[in-house]
Amino acid sequence: MRCLGTCALPVRRTRWYVAGVPLSFNTTGPCIPGEHYMLPPERRLERVQGLIEESKYFTLHAGRQTGKTTSLMWLERHLNDSGRWRAVWVDLETAREQPDPAAALSTVLAIIDDALRLHHAELARPDATEIEAALRNPAKALLDYLRCLSGLDERPLVLLLDEADGLVGPAMVSFLTQLRHAYIERSQTPFPSSVVLVGQRQVRDYIASTEDRKALSWLGTTSPFNITAEATTLGPFTEAEVAELLGQHTAATRQRFEPEAVRLIWELGRGHPWLTNALAGQIVGQDVRDRGVSITARHVEAARETIILERRSHIDSLVARLREPRVRRILEPMLAGTRLPADLLDDDVSYLLGLGLVRMDRGELQIANPIYREVIPRALAWTQQISMHQPTEWYVRPDGALDVPKLMAAWQAFWRKDGHLAAEGFGYREAGPHLMLMAFLQRIVNGGGRVEREYGLGRGALDLMIFWKAERHAIEVKIRRDTDTEAEALDQVVRYLDRAGLGEGWLITFDLRKELPWADKLFAREVEHAAKTIRIVGC
């Protein structure tokens, strides 16, 4: 196989919008030039192209609907158009959840053969007899097939294997092990020059079960693909790129996004491609169809609430992840403001980072974006929220203001009667009191306002902000522990109020000691602390 050299790949420039053609913000499937507003994919693939130049086998991982397939489709065309490679993009979706190596690898070879037939019709490929012969021994079927395929074209073969992390069990182990052998033997035998495994997870996260790890013990590693050069990812859009994407709509329709709307779209999604497109698409496709009306921050806020409440496919897939033990072990202490478990593995954190559920910000682990921050507790508390009989109008004063003291008194009564028992039923049991309170507030405030949440590891508290018309009500939530002092809790509330620019707020404390009578737990009083008025509600 000839050396690929080190020269840079030529970049073919494409215009991503056409004047007069009705384009749209895409949230379903890969983006298509001429149909969707989109950013040039090559911007996000610089490192990927470099690794292909170096003939590496590696992974490309990112969360759902972050542009992986759009990027792969562009990369396949780009590599083939260069004339230097034979690139084949293969979607392994139909081989997922097939643990039997014979069945799974038969599907994999059929998928590759279909991709070659449809997109590389001029290329000779292994015939049915050769495929059948390879499948007689599943332990080397992929190896034999790739050896045969790589010898049929003088150009180096690049395999882009999408949804590779969907393979499971012994089939996944066999698949990765054969790729490893191909990498090792390729200096002596024709094999793919570069293989890119694409999915939501890094290779080290493919091995989920004890059985799989035992099966790989002979390698001395948890991954049979330990020849992988590195794990690459697709980063989010920058704020400038979000503005550029929205600007394509303005160029095509003359409908303007006000600067504060652009900023808020970026802040809410933190550049996540699907969230960015979903917010913009909801606004211009549903909420503000009159192209003469400029898009404001108020339109963005309304679109956010619609997306969260409708729980569209992307949000539903996020919610499904919350049931996984690896996810719960990290998100639960984040919700409760406690520390991560001492026995937590680095791989668990990497797993959530790869899924796009969390991000690192100046060394601190945080929920990936404000929309996810809203979705997670709402989803976990949804069943409790819809089962409560707490009409909003009970807590609205004649002048339309929210009666927060009445709301807090009702919360104490609810917690005493039903809430403390229901909180123990959450899968996220450590965060049960927090989730129950959020469900209660959300049930009432949803009728005319919203609740925003700020939580993080090791802070020892959960910050809530109720937005009701022009009102803002700050609430800090703490679990009462023997080592805590009221002065420390009040200091935390003061810091929160300073950040919010408010002179008064609420502190809700949960005393979970079972031996303490309810008469001692339930109280309400007002204190002055550091020039702030703080109302303490005991639960």
Condensed to tens digits (0 to 9), the pLDDT of residues 292-322 reads 999 999 999 999 989 988 877 788 888 888 8
Q: How many domains does the chain have?
A: 2
- 317 domain-assigned: no
Q: How far apart are CA 23 and CA 363, in angstroms?
A: 39
Which two structure tokens, joined as six digits, stand for 316? 């539903």
Task: Please report the pLDDT score of residue 13 as a whole number.
Answer: 38
The predicted pLDDT at position 351 comes to 81
Segments of the chain with pLDDT less than 70: 1-21, 203-230, 345, 456-460, 482-484
Helix H or strand E encompassing 391: none
Please, which residues have CB within 8 angstroms of residue 103's CB and are 6 or more apart in sequence?
Answer: 171
Residue 216: which CATH number? 3.40.50.300
Tokens 């807090």, located at residue = 408
Q: How far is CA 392 from the centre of its chain?
A: 32
Residue 168 makes CB contacts below 8 A (sequence gap 6+) with 96, 97, 98, 99, 208
Rg (CA), the chain: 27
Which residue type does 164 have? A
Asked whether residue 267 is assigned to any structural domain, the reply reads no
Within a domain: residue 350? no
Pairing of strands 157-162, 86-91: parallel
Does residue 31 form part of some domain?
Answer: no
Q: Are 52 and 196 in contact (CB under 8 A)?
A: yes
Sequence letter at residue 430: E
Domain-located, residue 412: yes
What's the rounded Cα separation, in Å, for the pair 162 and 274? 18
> At residue 262, what is the residue type?
V
What are the Cα distances from residue 371, in Å, to 89, 210, 273, 301? 32, 35, 13, 11
Q: 526: domain range? A: 377-538
Q: DSSP state, 287?
A: I
Dihedrals phi, psi of 411, to nearest 5 degrees: -60, -45
Residue 402 DSSP one-character state: B
Three-state SS annotation for 433-489:
HHHHHHHHHHHHHCCCEEEEEECCCCCCCEEEEEEECCEEEEEEEEEECCCCCHHHH
Domain end, chosen from 233, 268, 293, is at: 233
Q: What is the pLDDT of residue 97?
A: 82
User: Of 183, 210, 233, which closes a domain?
Assistant: 233
Q: How far apart are CA 419 and CA 421, in angstroms?
A: 5
Whether 96 is in a domain gets the answer: yes
Is 457 contained in some domain?
yes
Q: What are phi and psi of 238, to 5 degrees?
A: -80, 170
Residue 368 lies in a domain: no
Instruction: Answer with the one of 172, 207, 233 that is the final residue of a domain.
Output: 233
Instruction: Please list, residue by residue across 57-66, b when 16 or more beta carbons sit within 10 angstroms of its beta carbon and e when fewer do.
Output: bbbbbbbebb
Q: Which among 210, 426, 434, 422 has a CA at the least distance from the CA of 322?
A: 426
* 2: enclosing H helix or E strand: none
